[in-house]
A = this chain, B = another copy of it.
């Protein structure tokens, strides 16, 4: 599960793909209870019939939790999560949809403020079974550099 990668080891353009997971009604009900977000868009089938999508949609916070969770199979002990930018949900997720995440090394740059560390941007693209992007986010990692001496 552990996979050590220094800043120098990240190759821009490299992609890894996760396994898939079907989002179920159960997940949506769980997430409503877990987050406390019981907005009718997620849990009221009758209300949803009056809305454009006609049926409940997954919470964005859940697509984020599961979309990122799918990538949690490898730990890099040399990297720390700094945060996320540009989190978008261009298409809805419904119960029955199967999502998977592609992780692409989007860019990397030396971190001026942290000697010995670099900044790596991983683009995380979550797609459904039709190949449509349902979530996109850029994950910012602070990664240790191997350095000269090593």
Q: CB within 8 Å of B: which residues of A?
A: 1, 19-22, 24-27, 29-40, 43-47, 56, 59-62, 64-66, 68-70, 72-73, 75, 81-89, 96, 98, 129
By the criterion CB–CB under 8 Å, are B61 and A98 in contact?
no
Q: How far is the CA of A118 from the CA of B75 in the complex (A)?
A: 34
9 CB < 8 A contacts A-B: A21-B44, A26-B30, A29-B30, A31-B65, A36-B72, A37-B72, A44-B98, A83-B87, A87-B87
Total identical chains: 6
- Chain A contact residues: helix, strand, loop or mixed: mixed
Shortest Cβ gap from A83 to chain B (Å): 4
By the criterion CB–CB under 8 Å, are A72 and B35 in contact?
yes
